[in-house]
Amino acid sequence: MIHNFNAGPSILPKEVFDEASRATLNFNNTGLSILEIGHRTPLFKSVMDEAIGLTRELMNLDSNHEVLFLHGGASTQFMQAPMNLLNENDVAAYTDTGVWATKAIKEAKLFGHVEIVCNSKEADYSFLPKEFEVPPSAKYLHITSNNTIHGSQWPDLSLFNKYGVPLVADMSSDILSRQIDFNKFDLIYAGAQKNVGAAGVNLVVINKNILGKINRSIPTMMDYRNHIEAGSMLNTPPVFAVYVCMLTLRWLKNKGGVAGIEKINNAKAKLFYDTLDSLPFFKGRIAKADRSKMNATFTIEDAVLEKEFLELCNSEGMIGVKGHRTVGGFRGSMYNALPWESVKALTDLMKEFASKKG
Ligand SMILES: Cc1ncc(COP(=O)(O)O)c(C=O)c1O
């Protein structure tokens, strides 16, 4: 059996793979593949409508918030968000909590002033700073809810409400994994390839009231308002990727929605971190309070043993356990679709290895 701990694209539910493969040959008994239907046909319109409707329902969105499925992955949002929200002389507040946050900051600087309100770079991004000020004049505060590479996650997102400025969040690696008040955010974006579906599409949730307040001209494809008006069909959408998102969202709803999956995610994270803490042989990278329930990062001090453990993981069918190339060590990604049994298999292997080599 393969246990897929990849950080993204990553494991999706088996039901989704089954249904998507059927649809690749014969979509809804039309005799046509999902890959060859026109995006303006009623057939695809119903897929897009259902994907948007399920997102609204699962996130419990109010009528101010619009759901978009856009091209370009989360990295395009690093640029698109400030382009739509920030005038040249405005200030945007950014939390620098890891590699992806740093990339978002770099793009925002092209459009206005960036004030970095907190930063844990000196400590290798091993914790999330909780005490910081945000200028009241900031057009928005940008956060990365889960830092995929380092393995940290803001434990309580309501922390940011007190600043009274619009909130923008990159939720690429933990969206729909835990219950939060999504309506408190004015812009949420997430590359779909972790918890939402297939690579090639970006889920964007936006409070339409924050748009239309800047002076610059925005290229047609970059203006959120055009995408809202066109129902995410301003041009040809990534049809198959949106379809896989729709199937994954259906699966999530059947699992009891975000509340249902959160219970499972908590159980997986507890199993993993309880095991990690019981084995001094392995070291966690992140301060306990800020550990990610999606991406667990850890190390072994001895590089030779680290290599050996990685080889053992591979030989036992556990793939994707190698840490990101910029930080090394190990990373077990435990997204929504990863079964509890996979975490059990990894933790059993850790115990076995530590007892032999520790
Ligand atoms: C938190 C976060 N933001 C942004 C990205 C970039 O996403 P994309 O490759 O879709 O541009 C990633 C990718 O892993 C991520 O984890």
Cα 13 to middle of ligand 1, angstroms: 20
Domain end residue (candidates: 228, 254, 280): 254
Contact assessment for residue 313 and residue 307, using Cβ atoms and an 8 Å cutoff: no
User: Rg of the chain over CA atoms, in angstroms?
Assistant: 21
Residues 24 and 45 in one domain: yes
Distance 142 CA to ligand 1 centre (A): 15
Report whether residue 75 contacts ligand 1, using a CB cutoff of 6 Å.
yes
- 299 and 219 together in one domain: no
* CB distance 200 to ligand 1 below 6 Å: no
CATH number at residue 311: 3.90.1150.10
Residues 10, 335 contacting (CB under 8 angstroms): yes
User: Are residues 27 and 53 part of one domain?
Assistant: yes
Q: Are residues 219 and 307 in the same domain?
A: no
Active site residue 124: no
| Residue 316: HSE in the Cβ half-sphere, 13 Å Cα cutoff | 21
234, 254, 274 — which closes off a domain? 254
Annotated active-site residue 90? The verdict is no
- Residues 192, 71 within the same domain: yes
Distance, in Å, from the CA atom of 19 to the CA atom of 14, rounded to the nearest integer, reads 9
Q: Determine the distance from the C-alpha atom of residue 341 to the mean position of all C-alpha atoms in its chain, rounded to a whole number.
A: 22
Active site residue 106: no
Q: Are residues 218 and 303 in the same domain?
A: no
Cα 97 to its chain centre, rounded Å, is 15
Residue 153 near ligand 1, beta carbon < 6 Å: no
Residue type, 94: Y
- Give the number of domains in the chain: 2
Predicted confidence at residue 2, as pLDDT, reads: 95
| Rounded Cα gap, residues 150 and 331, in angstroms | 9
> The pTM is what?
0.98
Give me the residues paired with residue 93 across strands: 115, 141
Residue whose Cα lies nearest atom 10 of ligand 1: it is 73
> Across the chain, what does the average pLDDT equal?
97
Indicate which residue of 170, 174, 186, 290 is catalytic: 170
> 225 and 76, same structural domain?
yes
Say whether pLDDT at 164 is over 90. yes
pLDDT at 220: 98
Task: List pLDDT tens digits, range 117-137.
Answer: 999 999 999 999 999 999 999
- Whether 181 and 45 map to the same domain: the answer is yes
Q: Are residues 294 and 334 in the same domain?
A: yes
Domain with 106 in it: what CATH number? Answer: 3.40.640.10
* pLDDT (mean) for 274-278: 98
Strand order in the sheet with 282-284: 282-284, 295-300, 330-333
Q: 179 pLDDT exceeds 90? A: yes
User: What's 322's DSSP letter?
Assistant: B
The share of the chain scoring above pLDDT 90, in percent, equals: 99
**What is the mean predicted confidence (pLDDT) over 85-113?**
98
**Residue 102 in contact with ligand 1 by CB distance below 6 A:** no
Residue with tokens 């940011």: 160
Same domain, yes or no: 171 and 273: no
Confidence at residue 123, expressed as pLDDT on a 0 to 100 scale: 95
Residues 173 and 37 reside in one and the same domain: yes
Question: What's the pLDDT at 358?
Answer: 81
Instruction: Kindly tell me if the per-residue pLDDT of 1 is higher than 90.
Output: no
The per-residue pLDDT for range 251-262, each reduced to its tens digit, is: 999 999 999 999
Considering the domain architecture, whether residues 276 and 223 belong to the same structural domain is answered as no
Q: Which of 254, 280, 313 is the last residue of a domain?
A: 254
User: Which atom of ligand 1 sits closest to the CA of residue 199?
Assistant: 10
Residue 317 pLDDT grade (very low, low, confident, very high; cuts 50, 70, 90): very high
Name the percent of the chain lying above pLDDT 70. 100
State the pLDDT confidence band at 65, using cuts at 50, 70 and 90: very high
Ligand 1 contact, 74 CB (< 6 A): yes
Residues spanned by the domain of 61: 14-254
